[in-house]
Amino acid sequence: MSVMISMILLRESCELPASTIERELRQRYPDLSASLESNEGGVPSFKLKEGTAMLAHMPAPIPWSELEGPCATSLLWKDATEEVQRHECHILVTLLSEQNEIEQSTLLTKTTAAVLAACDAAMGVYWGNATLVIPKQIFLDFAEQVLPLGPPLDIWVDFRVGWQTKTVSGGFTQGMEALGHMELETQESPEKPGDLRDRLQGVARYLLQNGPVIRDGDTIGEDAREKIRVIYSDSAFGNDKRVMRLQYEAQAKPWWKLW
């Protein structure tokens, strides 16, 4: 049995509407066979087909020291730094399940979406596995529109990219480990940050759909000329675990030249 959590930011304190949450779970996700198992002490517990979800109202805000970085770099929450600081308390959503990491993340996403929809005071979600803050409606949209089609990468994984110099970019992921995979990194990429983000997303999506099939030393690329070697290595960005580093290999120069 493994545990996975999310946190729902509240603009004001409120009682957890257990019956409303149960209704949202059943209406939105009938496949979960959700039922309210207990509400002792105002702490709702829901029995799901593949696990148990427990909710706890936390009377204090999430420490700003934990949220400041995610707010400053958020792409999904435009005014996160200003708005997130206004939350007064939060809901801790705890999921216990024997599923694999992707299945458990899917179940947690569905449960979190149901709680969001049931709580008028909810502002958004802190997805701690990826250190992401996501506004309420965007999280609901991803849960409703993207999740049925495949992993909603933008709310599960943080793709942090940027220029390293005027000509090369670098970046890393946060959240792949929680999905059962190594984090991705690269330095000195010739691609622009936006293109590098797309690159990392493509690799992440491939891994989530196909499993850990990219081995140490494998090359990836969109065609035969594009060679990017994957190296299992120590992190260059402070991660204490091994990562998959994308190493861009220079294309072979033609033997001829123009005068």
Interval 10-36: pLDDT, tens: 999 988 999 999 999 999 999 999 999
Distance CA 166, CA 234 (A): 25
What does the domain layout of the chain look like in residue ranges?
2-149, 157-248
Is this prediction's pTM over 0.85? yes
Helices and strands per DSSP (H, E), number in the chain: 7, 13
DSSP annotation of 31: G
Distance CA 99, CA 49 (A): 11
Length of the chain: 259
- Burial class from Cβ neighbours inside 10 Å (0-12, 13-18, 19+) for residue 48 reads buried
Q: Which amino acid is at 190?
A: P
Q: Which of 172, 142, 175 minimizes the C-alpha distance to 157?
A: 175
- Residue 110: closest CA among 130, 132, 95, 123: 95
CB atoms under 10 Å from CB of 226, counted, come to 12
DSSP 130-165: TTEEEEHHHHHHIIIIIGGGS--HHHH-EEEEEESS
Q: What is the pLDDT of residue 124?
A: 98
In tens, the pLDDT along 221-233 reads: 777 677 899 999 9
In one-letter notation, the amino acid at residue 169 is: S
Of 235, 154, 166, the closest CA to residue 201 belongs to 154
What is the phi-psi region of residue 32: left when phi exceeds 0, alpha when psi lies from -120 to 50, beta otherwise? alpha
pLDDT at 22: 97
Residues β-bridged to residue 36: 46
pLDDT at position 40, please?
87
For the chain, residues with pLDDT lower than 70 are 224, 250-259
Cβ atoms within 10 Å, residue 44? 23
The amino acid that residue 202 corresponds to is G
